[in-house]
DNA sequence: GTATACATGACAATCTTGTGACAGGCACTT
DNA sequence: AAGTGCCTGTCACAAGATTGTCATGTATAC
């Protein structure tokens, strides 16, 4: 299992440090940010798997950031756990409305934190990230990082693998080249949109005749993974 | 698609010009300012979609302006790309802290600039809410960008798709050819009104026998989408 | 019956996408 | 260090699909 990346956003370095240590002990990869802007930049660049967000921060506060992230296509799926010093019900409601997936009130024990974090990841991690996905004999198994067609292993490059993984976990939906770049290549890369075409072609080629039709061109828009013709 | 507006703030006219040309080639609308005050005025007046901001400027410098914009409610969402001659890490950090969304060091190629600008705009543009519409077994699903008749996918071109989408979200109402051109083709295109007829025909053909009757001709006026005969 | 409005098929221009080739970057070996 | 193999991103050109128009056929209203 590849280590999950968690981004901690809190303005107090001491708290970040405390959490970071706890998470690293639990084998997570940890990123830190002390304000909303830096956090946003890191999210775009590093695509963390989960966000630990302090509710009260100078400048753009936690709720604000959460709301913004849920609003943007590329980050709307990112699970968020809010941290707060106050245990008021109000905050909880506001937080959940803003799109937080869970909520922890300070003070909390590292054990508790890790436990809830694990729980959130478990229920928000879509199939295909850890579990295998299978469609019409085409099997993608994240554990072994392999793709096979009716049991026969396929030769597939890293980018094509990520592209296929994204598609198989987001079926029946069109994505523009731009969205694919965001989701598969990662936020801050600067790559020609047409490059997507080339990788689509490589992916199709790798899938071979029997599964070609799953990767569909939507003229004037982008591409789609679909079992329907 | 309406062209996005980009405001360039730099004290050197030559650089502004260079950038402006590159952006105009890429179909952006360009505004220019040579100092922070003018920039602020333009931002308020014109509400650009993105700001290209030079880091070093006489008077209020770039960082200062960025920080100020992020602080004000009305402009806090405005994406900012910082331009700088120095490639020091320090600046990058300061810049991102001030709220910049990306960062480009001079010298840069117009290509790179446009690419990164596109990337920033892509991820800051909120996604639209898209819901499927269904009428008498005819289903149009914006998420998958697909039209199906009783579960059977239909072949449909881009323009016909937009036309159908417009009709299905504006049922039981007549539209003149002119109105359809405005709504479906977009405001400022010059196209013969008769062209609408042709696309109506193509749409009817694509829908096939079972749904032909939904697209109705209103003699002397235009067309209508209606479930009633 | 005749004028008007709409439907239809054909077509060339234009856009979009598919494809093969290529050069640079990187990791690993020799 | 140089060599090798693999992966990537980009380009140029080919292939294909879409688009707007026109000429002509057909329905409709008066």
SS3 per residue for B46-79 = HCCCEEEEECCCCCCCHHHHHHHHHHCHHHCCCC
pLDDT digits (tens, 9 = 90+) for A51-95: 998 877 766 677 778 888 887 777 888 899 888 776 555 555 565
**Cβ contact B122–A178 (<8 Å):** yes
DSSP β-bridge partners for residue A8: A32, A52
Strands B174-176 and B222-225: antiparallel
CB B127 within 8 A of CB A72: yes
Mean pLDDT, range A204-219, rounded to an integer: 93
Residue B8: its H or E element = strand B5-9
A211 with A107, same domain: the answer is no
Return the residue in A172, A190, A220 with the most chain B beta carbons within 10 A, the one to mutate for interface testing: A190
B95 with B32, same domain: the answer is yes
Contacts of B77 in chain A (CB under 8 A): 68
pLDDT band of A128, cuts 50, 70, 90? low
3-state secondary structure of B122: helix
* Highest mean predicted confidence (pLDDT) among A12-26, A60-74, A97-111: A12-26
pLDDT band of A201, cuts 50, 70, 90? very high
Contacts of B124 in chain A (CB under 8 A): 72
CB nearest to B99's CB, from A37, A179, A219: A37
- Among all strands, which nt has the closest C1' to A220 (CA)? C16
CA B20, CA B31: separation in Å to the nearest integer?
8
A63 with A43, same domain: the answer is yes
From first to last of its 229 residues, chain B has per-residue pLDDT tens of 567 889 999 888 888 888 888 888 778 889 999 888 888 899 888 889 899 988 777 666 777 788 888 777 778 778 888 887 765 555 555 555 566 777 777 777 777 788 788 878 877 766 666 788 999 999 999 999 999 998 899 999 999 999 999 999 999 999 999 999 999 998 778 899 999 999 999 999 999 888 989 999 999 999 999 998 7
**Cβ contact B96–A71 (<8 Å):** no
Domain boundary among B99, B124, B149: B124
Distance A207 CA to D1 C1' (A): 39
3-state secondary structure of B224: strand
**How close does chain A come to B229, measured CA to CA in Å?**
31
Counting one residue from chain A and one from chain B, the pairs whose CB atoms sit within 8 A come to 74
CB B96 within 8 A of CB B127: no
B62 with B149, same domain: the answer is no
B101–chain A Cβ distance below 8 A for any pair? yes
CATH of the domain at A139: 1.10.10.10
DSSP secondary structure code for residue B136 in this structure: T
A37 CA to centre of own chain: 19
Distance B204 CA to C9 C1' (A): 15
B70 with B140, same domain: the answer is no
Residue that wins the pLDDT comparison between A211 and A105: A211
CB A103 within 8 A of CB A69: no
pLDDT at residue B203, as a whole number: 97
Cα angle vertex B111, ends B109, B113, to 5°?
75
CA A146, CA A140: separation in Å to the nearest integer?
6
B98–chain A Cβ distance below 8 A for any pair? yes
What's the length of chain A?
A: 229
DSSP β-bridge partners for residue B27: none
Distance A163 CA to D8 C1' (A): 14
A150–chain B Cβ distance below 8 A for any pair? no
- Can you give the residue range of the structural domain that contains A209? 133-225
Phi, psi (deg, nearest 5) at residue B212: -45, -45
CA A224, CA B144: separation in Å to the nearest integer?
7
pLDDT band of A126, cuts 50, 70, 90? low
Computed over every residue of chain A, the mean pLDDT equals: 85
Return the residue in A37, A40, A44, A60 with the most chain B beta carbons within 10 A, the one to mutate for interface testing: A37
| Burial grade of A169 (CB within 10 A; 0-12, 13-18, 19 or more) | middle
CA B201, CA B222: separation in Å to the nearest integer?
13
B154: nearest CA partner in chain A:
A229
Query: How many domains does chain B divide into?
Result: 2
Domain boundary among B124, B150, B171: B124
Domain boundary among B82, B99, B124: B124
User: DSSP labels for chain A?
Assistant: -PPPEEEEE-S-HHHHHHHHHHHHHTT-EEEEESSHHHHHHHHHHH--SEEEEES--SSS-HHHHHHHHHHSGGGTT--EEEEES---HHHHHHHHHTT-SEEEESS--HHHHHHHHHHHHHHHS-TTTSS-EEETTEEEETTTTEEEETTEE----HHHHHHHHHHHHS-S-EEEHHHHIIIII-TT----THHHHHHHHHHHHHH-GGGGGGEEEETTTEEEE-S--
Cα distances (angstroms) measured from residue A34 to each of A56, A80, A187, B97, B198: 11, 16, 20, 9, 58
CB B74 within 8 A of CB B103: no
Residues 54-73 of A with CB under 8 A from B: 59-60, 68, 71-73
A119 with A139, same domain: the answer is no
A115 with A162, same domain: the answer is no
A41 with A106, same domain: the answer is yes
* CB atoms closer than 10 angstroms to residue A44: 21
pLDDT at residue A8, as a whole number: 93
B118 with B192, same domain: the answer is no
A141 with A197, same domain: the answer is yes
A117 with A187, same domain: the answer is no
A137 with A218, same domain: the answer is yes
CA B21, CA B141: separation in Å to the nearest integer?
39
B99–chain A Cβ distance below 8 A for any pair? yes
Q: Is the pLDDT of residue A30 over 70?
A: yes
User: DSSP labels for B165-222?
Assistant: HHHHHS-S-EEEHHHHIIIII-TT----THHHHHHHHHHHHHH-GGGGGGEEEETTTE
Q: Is the pLDDT of residue A195 over 80?
A: yes
């Amino acid at each position: 299992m590849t280590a999950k990346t968690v981004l901690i956003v809190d303005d107090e370095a001491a708290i970040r440090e405390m959490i970071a240590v706890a998470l690293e002990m639990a084998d997570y990869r940890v990123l830190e940010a002390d304000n909303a802007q830096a956090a946003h930049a890191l999210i775009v660049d590093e695509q963390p798997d989960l966000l630990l967000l302090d509710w009260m921060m100078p400048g753009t506060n936690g709720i604000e950031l959460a709301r913004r992230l849920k609003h943007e296509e590329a980050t709307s799926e990112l699970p968020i756990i809010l941290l707060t010093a106050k245990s008021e019900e109000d905050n909880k409601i506001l937080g959940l409305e803003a799109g937080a997936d869970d909520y922890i009130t300070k003070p909390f024990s590292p054990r508790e934190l890790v436990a809830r974090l694990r729980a959130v990841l478990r229920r928000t991690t879509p199939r295909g990230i850890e579990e295998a996905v299978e469609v019409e004999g085409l099997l993608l198994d994240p554990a072994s990082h392999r793709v096979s067609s009716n049991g026969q292993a396929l030769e597939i490059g890293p980018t094509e693998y990520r592209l296929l993984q994204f598609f198989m976990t987001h079926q029946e939906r069109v994505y523009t080249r731009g969205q694919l770049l965001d989701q598969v290549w990662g936020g801050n890369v600067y790559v020609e949109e047409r490059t997507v075409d080339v990788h689509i072609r490589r992916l199709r080629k790798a899938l071979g005749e029997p599964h070609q039709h799953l990767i569909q061109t939507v003229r004037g828009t982008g591409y789609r993974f679909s079992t329907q013709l």
